[in-house]
Amino acid sequence: MRIALNANILRAPRTGIGHYLAELVQALSAEEPELELQLFNGWSWQSELPAAALPGYSRLSSLIKRCVPHAYKLRRNIEQQRFARCAGDASLYHDPSLWPFEFDGPMVMTLHDLTHVHFPETQPKDRLAEIERHAANSVKRARHILVDSRFIGNEVCRHYGVPIERVTVAPLGCSARFHPRTTSQLIASLQHLNLQPGRYLLCVGTLEPRKNLQVALRAYEHLPPVTREQYPLVIVGMSGWRPEQLAAPLQKALATGQVRLLGYQDDNQVAELVAGARLMLFPSLYEGFGLPVLEAMTSGTPVIVTRNSSLPEVAGEAGTYIDAHDDRACAESIQRLMEDQPYWQHQRDAGLLRAQAFSWQRCAQITASVYRQVVES
């Protein structure tokens, strides 16, 4: 069975969907050898995953958007033509985005979340216009829709009127690079960032309003001065489209030197940062899954999360839950995990146990089952 996969996103530095696609391809190749995977990179087809993003892709993409009128539409038209040249003999087409290419055969799409519906302000206007124009039609065209969580599956059914039998939950897994590490394994890798294992708090995620990092910053300000001096708050992630919404609280916090904005880090460095943190703060307002939460639990790092959207499905009893707008409660949860060692150990052990319920192998097996169901129907 030949599967055409839209792997366009792998040209850019990998974040959520990019990691999903790369891990899924690797797991499908290992678990389902009878599948012939062909990846479309926006220009041509290849059978192997790219080792890394295209050099300078983000900078070039931003330049084109600023300088070329209707850049999204123009690029889309070119890519559609290139896609159509070689996709015709595929048994099935799978797209992990909101606007799949036109394809004459059966199409499966993965809907990771409905951020464009709930938080349209997080998208550039021209991109949001394209999403709104294509998403509803794409959902209608799809023979089947994969989602990362039951929460998103229910949202898709309600918002788009999709029958539940056309939706399958395929929970994500965690990369092998995330695992518990000893202090000696982390000292060298963290030293160049002026960090010590177990002596910092961590936030991971693109800087955008729905990640709700303002609450993390306000909670951090409530901590005793001596705690902030000993435990910096480290924020890792790309800038996102509207980082200016975080500018005021960030500038204030950065001026003290107790909050450190590391920006985008490579995959291995992120794994080491996650394993070395005392705890991870993830106060997001909305998630389709919440992969950083699973990565932290797999690494033996306790997580503080909001009881929103899909996050309880991922964290289960291993999460220390807070209200998304209660920075005082968030500060209290931080204090407890820092000062109550038995509680910290309990949450760490619970997270390691919970993480065992998720794997990319399982995600691949569910995905391949959907492929067969669609092709045979």
Choose between 264 and 109: higher pLDDT: 109
| Statement: residue 242 has pLDDT above 70 | no
| DSSP codes, 227-275 | HHHHS-EEEES---S-GGGGHHHHHHHHHHTSEEEEE---HHHHHHHHH
3-state helix, strand, coil in the chain (%, to 5): 55, 15, 35
Contacts of residue 135, defined as CB under 8 A and 6 or more positions apart, other chains included, come to 98, 99, 116
Lowest mean pLDDT among 178-187, 231-240, 310-319, 352-361: 231-240
What is the pLDDT, as a whole number, of residue 113? 93
- The pTM (predicted TM-score) of the whole model is 0.90
What is the pLDDT, as a whole number, of residue 282? 96
Under a CB-based contact definition with an 8 Å cutoff, are residues 112 and 96 in contact? Answer: yes
pLDDT digits (tens, 9 = 90+) for 183-205: 999 999 999 999 999 999 999 98
Is the alpha carbon torsion for 269, 270, 275, 281 positive or negative? Answer: positive
Cα angle for residues 202, 208, 209 (degrees, 5° grid): 100
User: Region 337-355: what's the mean pLDDT?
Assistant: 98
- What is the pLDDT confidence band of residue 134, given thresholds at 50, 70 and 90? confident
In order of start, what are the domains of the chain with their CATH numbers? 2-173+359-376 (3.40.50.2000), 183-355 (3.40.50.2000)
User: Region 123-150: what's the mean pLDDT?
Assistant: 86
CA pair distance 64, 72, nearest whole angstrom: 9
Contacts of residue 255, defined as CB under 8 A and 6 or more positions apart, other chains included, come to none
pLDDT digits (tens, 9 = 90+) for 349-360: 999 999 999 999
Please give the span between the terminal C-alpha atoms of the chain, in angstroms, as a whole number. Answer: 14
Average pLDDT, the chain: 89
What is the pLDDT, as a whole number, of residue 290? 94
| Statement: residue 209 has pLDDT above 80 | no
Largest CA distance in the chain: 64
What is the share, in percent, of the chain residues with pLDDT greater than 70? 90
Contacts of residue 240, defined as CB under 8 A and 6 or more positions apart, other chains included, come to 122, 206, 207, 208
| Statement: residue 152 has pLDDT above 80 | yes
Starting from the edge strand earliest in sequence, which strands make up the sheet with 167-169, in order? 45-46, 36-40, 2-6, 92-95, 107-111, 144-147, 167-169
